[in-house]
Structure 1
């Protein structure tokens, strides 16, 4: 089964596969495991679980959903624990019921609270493998339901989800009616829900595990005024915006990358602009005027590097974890199922590296694995240092 792609440092790809021994025969169309988020040494992923009766295929979307966290610990870590796989408990608060559920055990998706991948995030904190998984459900009366699960739970209590209904103060000026979460990122003690055309909602999720009121831990940062002038592109529901990204470097620097263009957008006319959040409390951004790159200059960098890259608008920008001036872009060649990844130093105006994306079907592997591989759409990269927690010869 295919996991989501993870983008590592220096334009390198890592793929994770789940080998499920004794798995029942599953017909095509069954959703495999999907990575949702990653932070430090942990990856949060989701998978649907087939019924015990493998012959029951009446309604595949009704299969139960499990969330799991896979964690590794490097040899230099204070923890000497081996890699672990934590299965999060099912969450039924707010879920729907169906009388027919009694015939399908242990549970069905109708019973579970619906949580969408793009609304979920994971925050690792502490020195002993602690993490918090969070999800937000938006309500149209200036309220949000914040669902949290802390691991490990308080002593003497079983692991369970909690729901906190939070009132959004009017002074935050968040339009929940049109809010769309594009990304959830961890920053400090907070999980941050990002709308690329409004702003960043920060919630101190660690406060809940320490008994502090979460309502007092809300904070909102509006995007720079120039970024707010553009309107959201029409894209399929659930698909991320290909021309905007909020990234957090390993040093905690928060960057906004926008590939701005006129409307309708020609592929050879665009400007790449980045902003740095200089004061998270005041919500003040600084435009990085020394790193602005236009279309002609961008294509000139490719030509100067004697690279045969396609002349198309870059998409899905990701800021390097180690250098805030370096951004990775995806170039998708029109008319061909061919994509390139390029790494550009925006300050020095240098194309540092480029690599063609190798589709999974082009890799070596048994036919049974290839049959389950999915089409690459370009938006499934997750910046993470997860690989640094793995030994070179590790088998996990």
Structure 2
């Protein structure tokens, strides 16, 4: 989580102002004790930022140029039994090199927390095209942080080795995507927006899955195929296509119809694999004409629609905002697999009942509105009496 300004809509030269990075820990435990939730503020990092002689008059932050670290290039890895974590950031260079910035928490005894920078050389045999590389996602796997390009592969770096004094250059590993996935080109989307048709997920058991919604361009709503691969050997970089879980457009819409749901017939997007069951994937169904969004959970192996939920806007839950309040706009691509809800056990049942009630009310309003619109269409089509 980064907090650059009070007004997030104000475009200012960000490196010239303080950017606070914070890590929220829901719960940390050890064999002997447990601690409540905590919020850790990471120290600022100026190595690599543009220097200015006048900075000394504006300590500690103002007009100092921090090193630019974009959110989509940053990842966090939790390890150990006492709330330890490592934050990593990568800056790509154009001479087959990357700058890896790391911060370990807690720091070694007797030293303040600080960032470190390691320049890593990408071996030619990895065949990584840094000129066209785009980090779509950063995920933790084991001791590594993994930078994922949905159209090239996965770059794994053992970030724990750095805290133990090991040569981190030896901990660099690359996994290319399956050959079929490499045949598709990246679709044009707005800069900074995530890819709606691909996702790499890691289950709670450590299974790495690649989900691709293969479609034509421009992507039609009724022509697509959902294919998943499982990384069976991370060292050899070998993938296995899950042939029993392939689902085409007709079959996908058939699942929705079989469940007797009122889901829109639109192309699914932003897939997320379940942490518990690697055969279960959540998709977003976005009906643009009515500004409605649904989350559906599909068992790809059993070919069953397990559940569906309509998105409830903030205004529907909390009422109209005041003039000073700012509402978050829902774009439909902010879902992540997480155990966060397991830490909310005290109010989980109440929250779920409230959600189910609000969804039921919204569905009834939708059905009533559809009924009224159909009635209006019938009146328009009714022939006028002859005079």
TM-score by length of 1: 0.82
Give the distance between the partners of 1:257 and 1:55, measured in 2 at CA: 33
Moved more, 89-98 or 58-67: 58-67
Q: 2:147 is paired with a residue of what secondary structure? A: strand
Give the distance between the partners of 1:278 and 1:54, measured in 2 at CA: 42
Moved more, 261-270 or 217-226: 261-270
Judged with a 3 Å threshold, the aligned counterparts in structure 2 of structure 1 residues 55 and 173 are, in CA distance, closer, same or farther, namely closer
Q: 1:102 is paired with a residue of what secondary structure? A: helix
Deviation at 1:109, TM superposition (A): 6.9
Judged with a 3 Å threshold, the aligned counterparts in structure 2 of structure 1 residues 370 and 279 are, in CA distance, closer, same or farther, namely farther
Match of 2:152 in 1: 198
Contact 1:72 1:390 in 2 (8 A): no
Deviation at 1:74, TM superposition (A): 6.6
**1:167 counterpart (117, 121, 128):** 121
CA deviations on 1:320-353 (whole Å, 9 max, x unpaired) are 0000000000011022221000000000000000
Contact 2:161 2:168 in 1 (8 A): yes
Higher share in helix: 2
Deviation at 1:392, TM superposition (A): 1.4
Give the distance between the partners of 1:53 and 1:280, measured in 2 at CA: 43
Give the distance between the partners of 1:283 and 1:372, measured in 2 at CA: 46
Give the distance between the partners of 1:233 and 1:180, measured in 2 at CA: 13
Give the distance between the partners of 1:98 and 1:56, measured in 2 at CA: 24
Q: Which has the higher contact order (CA 8 A, sep 6+)?
A: 1
Deviation at 1:393, TM superposition (A): 5.5
Match of 1:70 in 2: 24
Moved more, 256-265 or 207-216: 256-265
Q: 1:175 is paired with a residue of what secondary structure? A: coil
Deviation at 1:262, TM superposition (A): 1.9
Contact 1:149 1:159 in 2 (8 A): yes
Contact 1:147 1:164 in 2 (8 A): yes
Give the distance between the partners of 1:241 and 1:114, measured in 2 at CA: 23
Match of 2:93 in 1: 139
Give the distance between the partners of 2:63 and 2:247, measured in 1 at CA: 47
Judged with a 3 Å threshold, the aligned counterparts in structure 2 of structure 1 residues 346 and 56 are, in CA distance, closer, same or farther, namely closer
Judged with a 3 Å threshold, the aligned counterparts in structure 2 of structure 1 residues 108 and 172 are, in CA distance, closer, same or farther, namely farther
CA deviations on 1:350-394 (whole Å, 9 max, x unpaired) are 000000011122212684598222211111112111232345169
Give the distance between the partners of 1:240 and 1:283, measured in 2 at CA: 25
Give the distance between the partners of 1:215 and 1:279, measured in 2 at CA: 21
Q: 2:254 is paired with a residue of what secondary structure? A: helix
Deviation at 1:236, TM superposition (A): 1.4
Task: Tell me how large the CA RMSD over aligned residues is.
Answer: 2.9
How many pairs align? 349
Judged with a 3 Å threshold, the aligned counterparts in structure 2 of structure 1 residues 295 and 166 are, in CA distance, closer, same or farther, namely same
CA deviations on 1:95-127 (whole Å, 9 max, x unpaired) are 123466566554147510000111001000000
Give the distance between the partners of 1:55 and 1:344, measured in 2 at CA: 37
CA deviations on 1:198-238 (whole Å, 9 max, x unpaired) are 00000000000000011000000000000000000111111
Give the distance between the partners of 1:70 and 1:94, measured in 2 at CA: 26
Judged with a 3 Å threshold, the aligned counterparts in structure 2 of structure 1 residues 335 and 52 are, in CA distance, closer, same or farther, namely closer
Moved more, 183-192 or 355-364: 355-364
Judged with a 3 Å threshold, the aligned counterparts in structure 2 of structure 1 residues 55 and 247 are, in CA distance, closer, same or farther, namely closer
CA deviations on 1:234-267 (whole Å, 9 max, x unpaired) are 1111111000000000000000000001233211
Give the distance between the partners of 1:56 and 1:262, measured in 2 at CA: 37
Contact 2:2 2:22 in 1 (8 A): no
Contact 2:15 2:65 in 1 (8 A): no
Judged with a 3 Å threshold, the aligned counterparts in structure 2 of structure 1 residues 208 and 263 are, in CA distance, closer, same or farther, namely same
Contact 2:29 2:81 in 1 (8 A): no
Q: Name stretches of at least 5 consecutive residues in structure 2 with no aligned partner.
A: 350-387
Return the index of the structure with the highest Cα Rg: 2
Give the distance between the partners of 2:182 and 2:6, measured in 1 at CA: 50
Judged with a 3 Å threshold, the aligned counterparts in structure 2 of structure 1 residues 341 and 53 are, in CA distance, closer, same or farther, namely closer
